[in-house]
Copies of this chain bind each other. A is one copy, B any other.
Amino acid sequence: MKRFWMAVTLLLTAGVLGACSNLGFNDSSESTASSGTKTATYQTTGTVDSGMYQGVIKNGRYQTSKTRGLATSTNTQSGTYNIKSMENGLLDLAKKQFSTSKYVFQEGQLITEATAENWLGRKSKDNANGLNPASNGKLDEDTRAPIYLQTLLEQDFMTQSGSKLQLGGIAIALGMNEYDYYQKVKYGATYTTHISDAKLVSEGESMAAEIVARLRRLSGVGKNVPILVTLYKNAGSDALVGGTFFRSVLSTSGSDLGKWSTIDQQNETLPTVNNAKPLDSNVSTDFSDFSEQIENFFPTLAGVTAQAHYQDGSLAGLNISINTQFYSETEIMSFTQYVATTAQKYLPDGAKIEITIASTAGTQALITREAGAKGFYTHVFGSY
């Protein structure tokens, strides 16, 4: 059976790191404001923010994935929103398991590009390791065998043991399709198979078990290295916000998976499109009150949109974009202070807030509030 166009995206997977126990790594500081430490070949980035990981630098260069080029080229197919959101989200979930003060972050080095390509493919005579189902020969939206697993993301967490750096944990995200887009003929119209949540859970959970078993067989992965596996549901291709995580499991040793947990996340854009019912009417009202104050500040209307992120039913974060046409530096300064005080007055307490003010000339100002904080930080991009 001929295989049609298949949007399989590979993320951040690269050459097997066979020598984990031999990495030279000296004198790493526990201090979160430390500069990077250095030996002949290994170094860490250092960090000035205790909530951020240090990253691994090898021979003076950041340890990127070998599939980096591939990921770039397929970036637009799966949507930048999904990819960014998945990377961010997996890192956040991993932080609960692998503390930023004890672990150093490394881009995924265990799953090679060729391996990932096989795993993300359909099962077939040529590809025994394909995690997606073999084609059943059907092309109909409801009867064909869809691609469940779209993307695979690996993040590694290293610990220091004496002067060495060794693998201390792995986090995996399986990017699952709620909507599987496909063509019946090459360059033909795009059709969509919708996949139910129940099916995503059952398919994702069995793929996770298989992936953990396979990872344990890789050299460099100890029997007792904790592996966090998470299931992520890609947002549809027309969404202006990424998808959400819905399940996670921690394998502490062997191929034993442990107990699955539900992750309760929801994303939406505000204002909602076509008068759709917002996830939380209070948040939506607060946001529209805020927008109203902002939009009329200048003679030319400013556009205000937001990505809202909910965890366990509560607003966890708001990313607000304000687009306007003014350009004067003092106008931007006044506007920034106004937006910050308006945000303080109208936006919900507690949630993390990022407000970006942009004009046609690019980003002009940034306003942020950390989760749980009261005060806002403002910055107007300057020029001498």
Q: Which residues of A contact B (CB under 8 A)?
A: 11-12, 33-36, 45-49, 52-55, 57, 60-62, 64-65, 68, 71-72, 75, 80-81, 83-85, 87-88, 91, 105, 107, 155, 241-242, 267, 296-299, 307-309, 317, 319, 326-331, 333-338, 340-342, 344-345, 354, 356, 361-363, 366, 368, 375-379, 381-384
Q: Which residue of B lies closest to A335 (CB)?
A: B62
Q: Which residue of B lies closest to A48 (CB)?
A: B340
Set of chain B residues within 8 Å of A341, measured between Cβ atoms: 34-36, 45-48
Contact B354 A45 (CB under 8 A): no
Contact B75 A327 (CB under 8 A): yes
Contact B48 A334 (CB under 8 A): no
Question: Would you give the shortest CB distance from A359 to chain B, in whole angstroms?
Answer: 11
Contact B384 A338 (CB under 8 A): no
- Residue among A11, A49, A297, A366 with the highest chain B CB neighbour number at 10 A: A49
- Residue among A333, A337, A361, A378 with the highest chain B CB neighbour number at 10 A: A337
Question: Would you give the shortest CB distance from A169 to chain B, in whole angstroms?
Answer: 15
User: Which of the residues B33, B337, B368 comes within 8 Å of A49, measured between beta carbons?
Assistant: B337
User: Which of the residues B68, B337, B361, B376 comes within 8 Å of A328, measured between beta carbons?
Assistant: B68
Contact B267 A384 (CB under 8 A): yes
Not counting A48-B376, A61-B296, A68-B328, a sample of 14 additional A-B residue pairs whose C-beta atoms are within 8 angstroms of each other reads A36-B341, A46-B337, A46-B342, A47-B337, A47-B340, A53-B337, A80-B327, A84-B383, A88-B329, A105-B334, A319-B383, A366-B366, A366-B379, A377-B377
Q: How far is the CA of A333 from the CA of B309 in the complex (A)?
A: 20
19 residue pairs A–B, Cβ–Cβ below 8 Å: A62-B334, A64-B298, A72-B327, A85-B383, A85-B384, A88-B329, A105-B330, A107-B328, A241-B383, A242-B383, A242-B384, A267-B384, A308-B384, A317-B382, A319-B382, A319-B383, A319-B384, A362-B362, A366-B381
